[in-house]
Amino acid sequence: MQDKHEFHFSSEFMGRLISEQTVGVIGTGRIGRHAIQLFRGLGAKVIAYDKYPLKSTNGEFEYVDHLEDIFGQSDIISLHMPATQDNFHLFNHEVFEAMKDNAILINTARGSIVNTGDLIFALESGEIAAAGVDTLENESADLQDSRSTKKITDSDLIKLSMMPNVILTPHSAFHTTESVKNMVTISLNNLKVMFTGGRPKDIVG
139 is catalytic: yes
Residue pair 2/45 in contact by the 8 Å Cβ criterion: no
Q: Give me the catalytic one of 171, 175, 178, 199.
A: 171
d(CA 49, CA 68): 10
66 is catalytic: no
Torsion-angle region of 45 (φ positive above 0: left; ψ -120 to 50: alpha; else: beta): beta
Q: Give me the catalytic one of 33, 110, 127, 137.
A: 110
Q: In what order do the strands lie in the sheet with 22-26?
A: 62-63, 45-49, 22-26, 76-79, 104-107, 130-133, 166-168
171 is catalytic: yes
Taking CA 37 as the corner, what is the angle to CA 89 and CA 160, rounded to the nearest 5 degrees? 35
Q: Give me the catalytic one of 139, 147, 175, 178.
A: 139
Q: What amino acid positions are annotated as catalytic residues?
A: 110, 139, 171
